[in-house]
């Protein structure tokens, strides 16, 4: 069993299913509403734990009812430790409003709350095994991630950054990233690309080259139904997507990243780790919600065995 450390966001998700999203000034009827644990940090930590890793989550929740309930939910996950989760005083827990339309596409509004209060000092003394994988995303402050990754490299761990939601990124952070994982939209944002629709093979190669910030960095681009692309300093890897019947894409990217990190921690070669992530991401689209849809190791192995 590999060890994965995640510094990231913890949110109260409020998910609404509807036929279509309203125009400005318009009210439309919704089909259903649900409340649950979310945040890219929590989702990826759960995804890593369910796919077989021993996981420590470092994050922050508020001193409100949402924070108390979310910590209780996290503590039910086998293999996941919340010892590094802080309760921020006089601060609300992060909230994400998720709308899912008739085409199973999602749009999200995130209010950071306590996630914005996670400081470098909160991640500066995390003890890590030298073969661990360290993971973070962009729903917490970048200086905090930078310190987290510095500590990881000092202890011999590898770093995975999922820079989502897309925002201007600090160069001193990218220099500390071993595996950069983005989706197609994020890849274009960070590479200043202007392609419309699916990226071609040549565009993927060019985009990955534009994103790479040091010679050893691996750039991974998830492509949804088109599969996954990875570029290393010496090769490119392309994998097809797994064929499933999607009902909700919420959480698919987090499922990929968490399972991918677990596979790296388990010592799998890059191609196999990408395949594990692709299987997890595909499975996450077959159920509604974020955390509820994140698959187990057994489910991932079953899907891979069926191909």
- Residues marked as catalytic: 254
Alpha-carbon gap, residue 234 to 220, rounded angstroms: 14
27, burial (CB in 10 Å: exposed 0-12, middle 13-18, buried 19+): exposed
Q: Tell me if 11 is assigned to a ligand binding site.
A: yes
Q: Tell me if 139 is assigned to a ligand binding site.
A: yes
Alpha-carbon gap, residue 208 to 240, rounded angstroms: 18
Alpha-carbon gap, residue 185 to 253, rounded angstroms: 12
Q: Which residues contact 160 (CB under 8 A, 6 or more apart)?
A: 133, 134, 135, 136, 177, 178, 179, 181, 257, 260, 261, 264
Phi, psi for 302 (deg, rounded to 5): -65, -45
Q: Tell me if 250 is assigned to a ligand binding site.
A: yes
Q: Reduce the DSSP state of residue 7 to 3 states and report it.
A: strand
Alpha-carbon gap, residue 191 to 212, rounded angstroms: 10
Q: Tell me if 254 is assigned to a ligand binding site.
A: yes
Q: Tell me if 284 is assigned to a ligand binding site.
A: yes
Q: Tell me if 92 is assigned to a ligand binding site.
A: no
Q: Tell me if 129 is assigned to a ligand binding site.
A: no
Compute the CA torsion angle 119, 165, 35, 283 (nearest 10 deg): -120
User: Is 181:260 a contact under the CB 8 Å cutoff?
Assistant: yes
In our burial notation (b when 16+ CB lie closer than 10 A, e otherwise), range 181-218 reads bbbbebbbbbbebeeeeebeeebbebbbeebbbeeebb
Q: What is the strand order of the sheet 94-100 is part of? A: 30-38, 11-18, 94-100, 106-111
Q: Tell me if 125 is assigned to a ligand binding site.
A: no
Q: Tell me if 39 is assigned to a ligand binding site.
A: yes
Q: Tell me if 42 is assigned to a ligand binding site.
A: yes
Q: Tell me if 274 is assigned to a ligand binding site.
A: no
Q: Tell me if 40 is assigned to a ligand binding site.
A: yes
Q: Which residues contact 89 (CB under 8 A, 6 or more apart)?
A: 63
Alpha-carbon gap, residue 15 to 286, rounded angstroms: 16
Q: Tell me if 253 is assigned to a ligand binding site.
A: yes
Q: Tell me if 293 is assigned to a ligand binding site.
A: yes
Q: Tell me if 43 is assigned to a ligand binding site.
A: yes
Vertex 207 angle, CA 206 and 212, to 5°: 100
Q: Tell me if 12 is assigned to a ligand binding site.
A: yes
Annotated binding site for K(+): 248, 250, 284, 287, 289, 293
Annotated binding site: 11-13, 39-43, 139, 183, 222-227, 248, 250, 253-254, 284, 287, 289, 293
Annotated binding site for ATP: 183, 222-227, 253-254
Annotated binding site for substrate: 11-13, 39-43, 139, 254
């Amino acid at each position: 069993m590999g060890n994965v450390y995640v510094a990231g966001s913890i949110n109260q998700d409020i998910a609404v299913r509807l036929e279509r999203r309203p125009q400005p000034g318009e009210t439309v009827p919704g089909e259903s509403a649900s409340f649950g644990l979310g945040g890219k940090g929590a989702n990826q930590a759960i995804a890593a734990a369910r796919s077989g890793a021993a996981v420590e989550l470092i994050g922050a929740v508020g001193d409100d009812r949402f924070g108390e309930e979310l910590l209780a939910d996290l503590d039910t996950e086998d293999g996941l430790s919340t010892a590094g989760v802080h309760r921020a005083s006089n601060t609300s827990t992060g909230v994400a409003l998720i709308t899912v339309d008739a085409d199973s596409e999602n749009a999200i509004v995130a209010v950071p709350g306590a996630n914005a209060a996670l400081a470098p000092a909160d991640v500066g003394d995390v003890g890590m095994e030298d073969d661990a994988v360290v993971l973070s995303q962009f729903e917490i402050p970048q200086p905090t991630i930078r310190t987290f990754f510095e500590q990881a490299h000092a202890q011999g761990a590898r770093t995975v950054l999922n820079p989502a939601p897309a925002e201007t990124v600090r160069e001193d952070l990218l220099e500390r990233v071993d595996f950069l994982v983005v989706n197609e939209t994020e890849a274009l944002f960070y590479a200043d690309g202007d392609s419309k629709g699916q990226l071609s093979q040549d565009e993927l190669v060019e985009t990955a080259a534009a994103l790479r910030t040091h010679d050893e960095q691996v750039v991974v681009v998830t492509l949804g139904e088109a599969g996954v692309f990875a570029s290393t300093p010496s090769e490119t890897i392309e994998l097809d997507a797994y064929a499933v019947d999607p009902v909700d894409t919420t959480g698919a990217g987090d499922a990929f990243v968490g399972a991918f990190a677990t596979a790296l921690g388990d010592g799998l070669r890059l191609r196999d780790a990408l395949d594990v992530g692709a299987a997890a991401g595909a499975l996450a689209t077959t159920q509604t919600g974020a955390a509820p849809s994140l698959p187990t190791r057994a489910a991932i192995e079953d899907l891979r065995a069926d191909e």
